[in-house]
Chains A and B, each alone.
Chain A
Amino acid sequence: MSAGTLSGRLDALVRRVVSPPRLTSLALHLLAVGIALVFAVIVLAGILAAYGTAPSAVIEVVGEYALTPAGWVAMVNKGTTYYLAGLAAAIGFRMYLFNIGIDGQYRLGVFAAAVVGAAVGLPMVLQIPLLVLTACVVAGAWAAIAAHLKASRGVSEVISTIMLNAVATGVIAFLIAPERFGAAEEGSNNTQTALMNESGWMPAIHVPGLGEVYGFTVVAVLVGVLFWVVTERTRFGFEQRASGAAPRAALLGGTDPRRMVVLTMVASGVVAGLVGLPELLGATSHRYGISFPAGLAWVGLSIAIVGRNHPVGVALGALLWVFLERCALPLDLIGIPTEVVAVVQATVVLAVVTSYELVHGMSERSARRRAAAFARGRADTTEAPAETAAESPAEEHA
């Protein structure tokens, strides 16, 4: 009965958006991405037409100012940060959890890492793992608060993590004061932590002819591989999948879905803890200050949706996001407001969700046809009772 209610249907819709069923073949993925691209390009063309700008002018200015050698490096560096935020969001989405607290989690984590990095001076092989561990543990612990509230009290993680973001801001503001963990700098009113020990500065990768790519990009790639291995090859990944898709099935099979909620939320927080590290360990300042990038939760959530919760998809999504943001300035040069970038990003989210839904519907129907045709063929040859699956699967599913 409740399945027919508006909130029930909305809930089902949201679930499909954030944790869609997967397409079964690469060809279907390409088809879905193709449709999404066409749609996004049409919208973009409409916007350009509204501003009276020729597409060739856009291509020219983007090519000239955005796609420079330095531009590519900057995109990969910023993309690393976005990728980690996207993975953190994707972990939650696999169980329909909205970890909006990625923001607070990574800021607390990176702040703690900055403080430890300034206070401790181990050799680099120990120092960097220590900083990573610090950030992950602090961020994971912060996520555990929301996880506990959800599992034991049923508090929506959306509400609790938004509030915990605000609390994190307050906590950091309190702790970063010069009389506590902050350090005042001569001639600057920028509140920030002390400069980290040099053993915690992660060496960059020098790409000839382009520039310096964050060393942490390698770590991000490894995290992506780990994400795939855990989701596809481990019991934990399966239990997570089953608990999200069919909680009763998981429960009867011996998996406690509430325990999975806690573990998933904490895992998402742990990965969120990495989000600030490329910047902290790789950029030039090596401090945490009020100018440190914030608000990455929404970026991460969007990228996870566009990337379909798959590590490769999330990587492509992250690169697309930074590319679009990089286009903001050149576009401004030819009179298109930078806000257009946000419009295009939103269009991409909608286009990807819609086209995947479309393609999934197609592939599902074709799978049913195949199974029904096969069942009938078998019935004809074996003289066994007929099974015309015209109604049963379709109806039961609905």
Chain B
Amino acid sequence: MTEQTTPSGSTATAVELDGITKTYPGVVANDAVTLRVAPGTVHAVVGENGAGKSTLMKILYGTTRPDHGTIRVDGRPVSFSSPADAIGAGIGMVFQHFKLAENLTVLDNVILGAEPMRRSRFGAIDREAAAERIRDLSERYGLDVDPDALVADLGVGRRQRVELVKVLYRGARILILDEPTALLTVQESADLLGRIRGLCADGLTVVFISHHLDEVVGISDAITVMRRGRVVADVRPGETDTHELAVLMVGAEPAALPLRARGAVRPPLLALDRVSTGRSPGGGRLDQLGLEVGRGEIVGVAGVEGNGQDELVDALLGVLPLTSGSVVLDGEDLAGRSTADRRVGGIGCIPQDRQREGVLLDEPLWRSQLLGHLHDPRLTRGRWIKVGAVRRAAETVVATSDVRVPSIDLPASALSGGNQQKFIVGRELDAEPDLLVAAQPTRGVDVGAQRAIWTRLIGAAERGTGVLLISADLEELLTLSDRIVVMVRGTVVAVHEAETVTVAEIGRSMTQAVA
């Protein structure tokens, strides 16, 4: 069914992967995967983390060699030993994280590594020809990219388009897009997806990886669902919906979340009043920010990344000093209280970067139990660590939070991202904090772990913990929050009731003040 008639009338595929198998030690990443992509279509590949999508794309782009299986491009068998071979065959890849030099112009970034040379003895770079070509591509595909602009001056959405120009410039006819909207706002995503459709109209073929199932259903001509290294379904967007896709990806109905009455009036717990800070090392700051969280309330914080969310966490924990304003927790002004004091005094924290902030990767898992809880009298006595108690606490977290690890003596790096995150969430909630600051609690984890973490957060709120949920995932915010506040440039610009607000409304609040 994935074969399709091309305009010329012959039956062909742009990309044909047949029986691809790739084994890593102990794990089959791709198990006899077959993928057929018709030319001139958008073909989505969906699946949980670890389902094998990335491995498959790496094989198609020549960075990984399959153990078995064949690859055909435009009907011809090919064998890639490096990305250069794949580029030669007309395949281009846009990675999730931009690979652009900010201090160079669009032109320089595009031609870097593929510089057009003048036919002269000295081999000078022919910038004029390159600029002309970029303008051509930009116009033809409606990408609206100026070759002379400095990348540092461009917004995230436009940078993503520069990446597209980069692969098109190298002659790609088949584009692999790995989570192209991961860093974009709602509007930017919609805009980019429209342009991707435009590429196909011109005969290019797009292989599209995404976590956002609504995007997938909206834009694709065909969808391949992967689970645990295998293709479990090939479906067409007209025949399915996001719920069915989610079920296919996970292999089971997602566990129902516990119900919670939302939007009730709750006793006050945390109040931030006109809080301002100096610039953090990351470059952001808070500016007259006001925010309240009640007991048992989940307050979502939405916003484009880099609008002060990191600084909000740091200010709450006392890492980033305030220049004005006040933070009051449970009736007590936190001014002058140290970070350690605040942690003991009832603030739990799920940091956004679990690898750098949440666990000690190279240490046995049980030691990570102590992170942020060095003053917990159950784990330490004065200057001494109660090793037995720490190990028992870690065992408890592993058992109660469904952390799938055979032993707490394994290094934390051996765990999958979802299991690391479940451990962190369990550790923080184990201490029964008054306030839990959760930054991107389910970023990059699979649906199973996401459900488990959501369930824990709802349970914590039910028991009276106030949760400040900072997330780039609007679905997460809408599912869990009582109220959603929108942050722009270090301040709160809008507050929405989560049960009645729409994604579009939040999107508008996120961008209105920027213009």
Contact = CB atoms under 8 A, between A and B. Distances in A.
B132 interface: no
B357 A385 contact: no
Interface string B410-424: 110111111100000
B369 to A, nearest CB: 11
Interface residues on B, range: 35 or more
Nearest to A247: B356
Contact of B410 (A252, A256, A367, A396): A367
B52 A364 contact: no
A51 interface: no
A233 to B, nearest CB: 6
Interface in A223-280: 232-239, 241-242, 245-246, 248-256
A391 B55 contact: yes
Nearest to A244: B360
B373 interface: yes
B228 interface: yes
A396 B417 contact: yes
A378 interface: yes
Interface string A62-90: 00000000000000000000000000000
Interface string A382-393: 011111111111
Contact of A393 (B252, B409, B413): B413
A240 to B, nearest CB: 12
A207 interface: no
A365 interface: yes
B25 A252 contact: no
A390 B385 contact: no
A317 to B, nearest CB: 21
Contacts of B418: 387, 392
Contacts of B321: none
B24 A241 contact: no
Given A21-B411, A371-B414, A252 B361 contact: no
A372 interface: yes
A364 B339 contact: no
Interface stretch (B326-334, B443-451, B456-464): B443-451
Contact of B357 (A249, A375, A383, A390): A249
Interface centre among A235, A250, A255, A388 (most CB of B within 10 A): A388
B348 to A, nearest CB: 11
A374 B417 contact: no
B26 interface: yes
Interface stretch (B43-51, B185-193, B213-221, B256-264): B43-51
B448 A253 contact: no
B251 A385 contact: yes
A388 B228 contact: yes
Contact of A389 (B50, B54, B362, B363): B50
Contacts of A26: none
A386 B413 contact: no
15 contacts: A233-B385, A235-B380, A236-B383, A238-B370, A249-B359, A254-B338, A367-B413, A369-B25, A369-B26, A371-B410, A373-B26, A386-B51, A387-B404, A387-B418, A388-B27
Closest 6 CB pairs of A and B: A254-B340, A385-B448, A369-B26, A21-B362, A253-B372, A375-B404
